[in-house]
Chains A and B, each alone.
Chain A
Amino acid sequence: MDAMHANPEVVTTHDVQHDGHHEHHQSFITKYIFSQDHKTIGKQFLITGMIWAIIGGLFSVLFRLQLGFPGESFPILETVFGKTWAPGGTIKPEFYYALITMHGTILVFFVLTAGLSGTFANLLIPLQIGARDMASPFLNMLSYWFFFLASVVMMSSLFIQTGPAAGGWTVYPPLSALHDASIGSELGMDLWIISIALFVISTLMGGLNYISTVLNLRTKGMSMTRLPLTIWAVFFTAMVGVLAFPVLLSGLILLFFDRNLGTSFYLSDIVVNGQIMPNEGGNAILFQHLFWFLGHPEVYIVILPTMGIVSEVISINSRKPIFGYIAMIGSLFAITTLSFLVWAHHMFVSGMNPLLGSFFVLLTLLIAVPSAIKTFNWLTTLWRGNIRFTPAMLFSIGFVSLFISGGLTGIYLGNSTLDIQLHDTMFSIAHFHLVMGVAAFFGMFSGLYHWFPKMFGRYMNPTLGYIHFWVTLIGAYLIFWPMHYEGLAGMPRRYLDKSPWVSFNQFGDLDRMISIVAIIVFAIQLMFVFNFFYSIFKGRKVTTLNPWKANTLEWTTPIKPGHGNWPGEIPEVHRWAYDYSKDGRDFIPQTEPVGANEKIEH
């Protein structure tokens, strides 16, 4: 184990370089804009992510207006979006498809990947492993700025004349490859590809940094099996990202060639708009393999960090060790590995060989086992605890509930026989919004309420936190639970008006209810955003070092840690992070040496 300890030399140089005394020499620009402090970079990811979340959320409100009230006119839409996109205050189909595409892209990539990993990996890795900063603070800064560039490019696609990409967040060719197939496949699609390419670069730089920091910069005594689960989670997340994102990038490069250089990777035998295309011999399904080779791991990139956060928050607030620490790491590892072997479950009805499909059924349902282990371990952690319901804890409990509900429907979809019926219906929308969308947001909120005092030296208002939690939890179930029934009735996803259909037009009232609830839930998120920014400046001040009575190292830093985190020596670690309620003591910080007769876990 000793070889794994942080190299003392590295630590010393860091000591000198980022000594707290340097702080006041920094200009505004180096301190807040081109900062190399992991805490500041984390906040940059967070705030950029929040802006994206508001935009992405607002888009969903807009298309829910269409879904809940098809044909109705909302004059304000014409005022805001103009006659081209919302003539007479109704949403044009082109606009609708641009909205859902951007909603998916923004939330999956910009909010729940960059916003989530970027915030918590940056904030927590150095603080919880006992390091002064990332292995390469410079690369870390670049990682944010590439994300920023990606954001600028994606944002600009919203303002061009032909509008942004509109072929769904999965951008399947030929639709996305043929300029003539859709207005969203014009310039908007090129910008989408460029933006995501920049995004991938950002993810790689961030990910490599997270991995090498966790491996190399742990403080003395912090063996791998003493790491808090948050660190394990972001560590595995980074690995998944580093291995999966390049595949998406290569797939997108080929798509870019097909679009603009006349190659035929994905195109064959196509007549679009009466125009005969010369391409022959390509295969459209190839793109789906490349996309989902990232796309499936991507959903775990989204959920793994929140699993870490939830494990940490549940343990602290139950005043109990997380149950089955090693099993928790093992299941994270199993999920990481298996997540690369299940991608084709998104393609059961693409014409894939049924025998090949059957292997993917097997592997897909296998991945439910580590998910089940994690769930049972969370439940057991609660069992016989002494639970404090901070807003963070409530969001973690909500996470577990949503993860169960959404995970179980994965078992329907993963069984190819049922997927024939359910693929690309509202059932799959319900599945992934519960298990990924809402659950990941719950994990993220949980982390924000929990670490806000560390980030800003103040608390968020808990009453607003409770309101936020209850409205969001109830709203999420009201929105997504009944949606399963629409899917069971076969209602396809991405249908903006069901009135021409005999088979799917029976859910008008339901759709209206869902839309109204969605608007309320969105409004409550704005209240959260308000609480967040208000509390940064006006929140109640933190007066103790360790407000949640937690064991991990970040609570040994000053209330407002400077660059370098600890003013003096980095503390040494003597035990794992989960000694809660042990030997009659409420909590035993990781820095406390092991007692003479004490039996230790790790």
Chain B
Amino acid sequence: MQTFFIVAILVLGFLITFQIAKTSEYVSVLRGEEKSRRQSNNINAFLLLAFLIIGLFGVYYCNETLKDKILYVSASVEGENIDTMMWITTALTGFVFIITQIALFWFAFKYRESDKRTAYYFPHHSTLEVIWTVIPAVTLTVMIGFGLYYWFKITGEAPKNAMVVEVTGSQFQWDFRYPGKDKILGKKYYKNINAATNNPLGQVWDDPANHDDIHTTGEVHIVVNKPVKFIIGAKDVIHDVGLVHFRQKMDAVPGTPTTMWFTPKYTTKQMKEITGNPDFVYEISCDQMCGKGHWSMRGVVIVETQEEFDTWMFSQKPQYYVAFPDKDPSNPAFKPDSTSAGSAAVSVGNNQAKTRQ
């Protein structure tokens, strides 16, 4: 019913407009075409001027309404560079935008057709043309300079002390893996991936470095003020680790690992205060079209203090124990000298891991 009304109104409005348009054409023929052409020429000239003024005001209004809804402070140290760059670019392009739009609409209005004026034959002017080749070129060079300086800072090698976390995207969830106490991520092979045997990432259990690796889904914990390096991959199609608040983004490509690193500045708790939003969380958005659930492929980053992190980490169980409960010392069924796969190199425990370091 509602749809019907809307369509009816549109059709009616259209018919009226059409009749008016048609009539105006006849009237113009009657009144003398030249005269009515002049008239509509003036009307359009004034409308262009009005559009300029209202438009510039609209730009201001839009900014006033929406500026508080965009980004808060950068939550990573590196992201501050991006924010600086954003300001420089906005200042420069904003200036050019205002000047050129004013010129465009003002010229159009000012030089509207009039009997008093003849157009000025002005086919070219070398100096002018050189000026507006050189000025944009120089300005852009400056911006390239700034941009690349920050670009190399952000994409350069991660600091040595960075904590390493592996991120894996799949339709439509995020998985994370910590290297555990040995600080080494164990080997993976994609053909080992098997949800039924509790090996969602395809870890190679023969590799002892895998035995202390912690696996989580949907939520990743990192430590404030400590650089973190993500090693990013995907199981099925291309995804993208998008971290708005940290100003970071990197594709997750099956078969080709990528990396990103940053230093979180505020804990989730602090960010709740900064944003004034008690529900605030750092989110991972998938930024690369990955199928029907793309829009809902959400992850959460929890930034916390070192102590909080340690407590959390302590409560986590390596995926190895999930896959082989009988290897888990905390399991009543624990058998230290079991014969099942990989046990020879293992005998669980930290001793082994330490030797590897």
Contact = CB atoms under 8 A, between A and B. Distances in A.
A494 B18 contact: no
Contacts of B3: 74-76
A404 B105 CA distance: 12
Contact of A365 (B144, B155, B240): B144
Contacts of B281: 502
Interface in B57-115: 58-59, 62, 66-67, 69-71, 81-82, 85-86, 89, 93, 96-97, 100-101, 103-105, 107-108, 111-114
B89 A412 contact: yes
Interface in A322-378: 322-327, 349-351, 354, 357-358, 361-362, 365-366, 368-369, 372-373, 375-377
B41 interface: yes
A349 B85 contact: no
Interface residues of A, number: 130
B59 to A, nearest CB: 7
The interface centre, meaning the residue of B47, B107, B114, B128 with most chain A CB atoms within 10 A of its CB, is B107
B70 A488 contact: yes
A170 to B, nearest CB: 8
B298 interface: yes
Interface stretch (B19-27, B213-221, B330-338, B339-347): B19-27
B256 A271 contact: no
Nearest to B66: A485
A308 interface: no
Contacts, number: 363
Contacts of A270: 190, 235-236, 254-255
Nearest to B291: A182
A473 B100 CA distance: 17
Interface residues of B, number: 118
Interface in A411-436: 411-412, 415-418, 420-421, 423-425
Interface string B282-326: 010111111111111010000000000000000000000000000
A559 B123 CA distance: 30
Interface stretch (B131-139, B159-167, B177-185): B131-139
B330 to A, nearest CB: 30
A32 interface: no
B108 A323 contact: no
A357 B151 contact: yes
A456 interface: no
A463 interface: yes
Contacts of A269: 190, 254-255
A563 interface: no
B69 A369 contact: no
B151 A463 contact: no
Interface string B227-241: 000000001111010
Interface in A543-587: 578, 580-584
Contacts of A76: 3
Given A325-B124, A354-B152, A382-B107, A318 B140 contact: no
A497 B295 CA distance: 7
Contact of A389 (B10, B81, B112, B190): B112
Interface of B: 3, 10, 14, 17-18, 20-22, 24-25, 29, 37, 40-41, 44-45, 47-48, 51, 55, 58-59, 62, 66-67, 69-71, 81-82, 85-86, 89, 93, 96-97, 100-101, 103-105, 107-108, 111-114, 117-125, 128-129, 132-133, 136-137, 140, 143-144, 146-148, 150-152, 154-156, 170-171, 190-191, 193, 195, 202, 235-238, 240, 242, 244-245, 247-251, 253-258, 277, 279-281, 283, 285-296, 298
14 contacts: A182-B292, A280-B255, A319-B119, A383-B120, A408-B93, A423-B249, A424-B240, A474-B51, A481-B58, A501-B298, A523-B10, A523-B14, A526-B14, A527-B17
